[in-house]
Structure 1
């Protein structure tokens, strides 16, 4: 019983770390994109905030190729 509780706690801790990591990546990408493009629409912000890990990775890798909001969607769709 105690081992099951420990395993459950570790699983939730790892899940929380993953969620926190993604939130940090999202906030950093938004700051970088705002700095580069000057402004991001509410729709673009909402789209970035709902990205999967794979989409966030794609945006991160292609950050230097993004020159407009339309480019953002090219790399996450």
Structure 2
């Protein structure tokens, strides 16, 4: 009878694979190729934060766009 033990690397891999991401709601999408110095996604997120919505900006590399999102799928 053999006993299998997990290494610390195996434990870390298992923990990473078991991670479940919270649902997200996309509030707005902005193209990444805007004029130099223009940050419309950041400005939009800051305006939502001023309204009490916990918005933040993430990059969607697949579509080359900035997304303004709210974690949890809803607004507060």
Q: TM-score, normalised by structure 2?
A: 0.29
Where is the strand percentage greater, Structure 1 or Structure 2? 2
Q: Greater CA radius of gyration, 1 or 2?
A: 2
Indicate the structure with greater helix content. 1
